[in-house]
Structure 1
C-alpha cells in the first residue's frame, strides 16, 4: 500500500490508528527511534494493553510504516522512508489546514486509463478522493490548485502521468450555481459530519477537554493524542472550499478553531508527559 493511502486506512480511534498517531507525533522528535517498551508505556496511557500494542506494531510493520531496529540490545522501531514522507505531508495537512479564497485557481485532473490498467484506475480514483479532490465525471476531477503537487505525486507513484492532463483554471462555469455544483462534486454532508463528530467529542464543557484538570500528565497526553487522531483525516477529505460555496451552517470553521485551541493548550503538557516517559528530549 502506498504512503499516501496508508495515511488514511486506519480507522480513527482504533489501536492501530492511535499508535500511528503517537508515532507520528513523537517518534521523530525522540531521535527517530523508540523502544518497544516505551511505545507500550505510551499506549498504556491510552488504555491499551501491551499485547494489543505489540499486535498493532506488527500491523504497522506490514504496512511499512515502521521497521524493527534493535539498539543496545533493546528492540524498538524507526520509520521507513515512505512513512517519513507520509508524516511530513500529514504535518502540513493537520497543523496548517488549507482554506481556499474566492478567486483562487482550481486544478482539473483529466485522465483516460485503459481497461488493462483498471486496478491502477481504481487506485487513482481512491487516492484523489482521499486527498480532497471532487468528482466532476468519471475521468475528470477537480481540486484547489494548492493540491496540484500531491496530484502529481499520486500520478507519478502509479505510473499514470502520461495518461493524465492537468488544467489550472479560474472559477468553473457551470449550468446552475457553483455552490450546487460543489455539492455534487464533493460529499459535503459527509465532510460536515466529520467536523460535527469532532466537535461532539472534543468541545469543552466546563473543565472538560481543555480544563485545568488536563494541564499535565497522562490525561493531557491521552486527550491530545485522541484529538489529533480524530482530526487528522478531516484536512485530507475537506478541500477547504471558499465560504461562498458552502452551506450557511458549515461547521468547519468552528471545528478548526477548537482543534487549534486544543493544540495550543495540550501540545506542551502532552510532550512533557512523553519526555518524562521516555527520559529523552521531545520538543
Structure 2
C-alpha cells in the first residue's frame, strides 16, 4: 500500500552500522514522537515501532535499561506492563538538542563577539569549558582565545559559574560593527569552525534524502508505517548534523552553504510524511491511560507549521 521504495535504502544503511546506534535512535524517537504525545509510552509499543529497523526485542530491552541507568528514562509499572518517559534531566537535554531541529536559527547578528581568554586554565579545564560552550558556538580562534558570534556574557557567566571557572578566565564582549563580516572574518570562520567539513556532512544528508523527496513528490497517498519510519530516520540523520553545527550567523556562512538546502529538504519531507505518520502512531502507541493523546500545539508549529 503505497510503501516507499527509498525507505529500504535508509533502513539498510542504519542496520549496517556497527554497532547499531539503538540508544541514539530511541532518543530521536522520544524527542520527535513521544514527547509531543504526552511523553510516556508502553515498552511493547517501542519494540513494535523500531523492530523494522533491526532493533529486536532483546536489543530494545537492553537499550531501554541502559538509558534508564544513564538517567535519560524513568519507568512506571502498571500491572505487568512497563511505561517509560524522559526524566527531568533527560527532557532538558532533549529540549536543548531538539529546539534547533525544528526552528531555524534566525537571530539578527550585529557583528559583536563574545571572547574568552583561557591561558590560565589547564588542559582538562579548557576542554571541559569548550565542551560546555559548544552549544553557544564557541571554538578556538587562536592560541588561548576562544570566541563565539552567538553568545552573550550572561549565558557564558552561567556556564563559568557552574564549572567554578569564573575567576580563572577573562571574558570580553565586543561592540557591534557596521561591517559584520569582511573577507578576513569569513575566512576565520571557515577555518576555525571547519565549515568545509560540516558542509560535506550536510551534502551527505542531501544525497541520502533527495531520492526520498523525489519519490514522495510522485505519490498522493503514503503508507502510514513507511511515513513514520521515514520521518524518524530523517530527524535522526538531520539531528546528527546539527550537533556539529555552531549555528553561525548568516553573514559568516558561504553563499552556497549546504546547511540551508539540507534544512529545506528536511522540512519538505517532514511536512509531507507527518499526516500519515501521525495516523500510524495513533493506531500503534499506548500509554498507561490508553492510546496516546493528540500531539501538542507545539508539534504543529514545527518547521514553520504542519498540516
TM bucket by the smaller chain? Answer: 0.7 to 0.9
Verify: 1:140 aligned to 2:152, yes or no. Answer: no
Shift of 1:102: 5.6
Q: Measured at CA, do residues 243 and 44 of structure 1 come closer, stay the same or move farther in structure 2, by a change above 3 Å? A: same
- Native 8 Å contact 1:207 1:213 kept in 2: no
Unaligned runs of 5+ in 2: 1-17, 286-290, 296-307
Work out the CA distance in 2 between the residues paired with 1:42 and 1:49.
Answer: 10
Work out the CA distance in 2 between the residues paired with 1:210 and 1:147.
Answer: 43
- Native 8 Å contact 2:130 2:138 kept in 1: no
Unaligned runs of 5+ in 1: 1-10
Range with bigger deviation, 141-150 or 264-273: 141-150
Equivalent residue for 1:89?
A: 96
Verify: 1:37 aligned to 2:44, yes or no. Answer: yes
- Native 8 Å contact 2:114 2:149 kept in 1: yes
Q: Measured at CA, do residues 72 and 64 of structure 1 come closer, stay the same or move farther in structure 2, by a change above 3 Å? A: same
Instruction: Name the Cα RMSD after superposition.
Output: 3.1
Q: Measured at CA, do residues 45 and 241 of structure 1 come closer, stay the same or move farther in structure 2, by a change above 3 Å? A: same
- Could you state the TM-score of these two structures normalised by the residue count of structure 1? 0.81
Equivalent residue for 1:3?
A: none
Trace 1:91-240 onto structure 2 (pairs within 5 A): 91-99=98-106, 101=108, 103-115=110-122, 118-129=123-134, 131-146=136-151, 151-152=156-157, 154-169=159-174, 170-171=176-177, 177-204=184-211, 207-208=214-215, 211-212=218-219, 215-240=222-247
Equivalent residue for 1:266?
A: 273
Work out the CA distance in 1 between the residues paired with 2:20 and 2:218.
Answer: 22
SS across alignment from 1:237: coil
State the aligned residue count.
Answer: 271
SS across alignment from 2:263: helix
Say which one has the larger Rg.
2
Work out the CA distance in 1 between the residues paired with 2:257 and 2:214.
Answer: 27
- Native 8 Å contact 1:99 1:241 kept in 2: no
Equivalent residue for 1:46?
A: 53
Equivalent residue for 2:263?
A: 256
1:66-118 residue CA offsets vs partner (Å, 9 max, x unmatched): 12322343112221111111112223211113146563433223335543xx4
Shift of 1:229: 0.6
Work out the CA distance in 1 between the residues paired with 2:193 and 2:56.
Answer: 39
Shift of 1:243: 4.4
Q: Measured at CA, do residues 151 and 59 of structure 1 come closer, stay the same or move farther in structure 2, by a change above 3 Å? A: farther
Q: Measured at CA, do residues 241 and 121 of structure 1 come closer, stay the same or move farther in structure 2, by a change above 3 Å? A: closer
- Native 8 Å contact 1:203 1:258 kept in 2: yes
SS across alignment from 1:266: helix
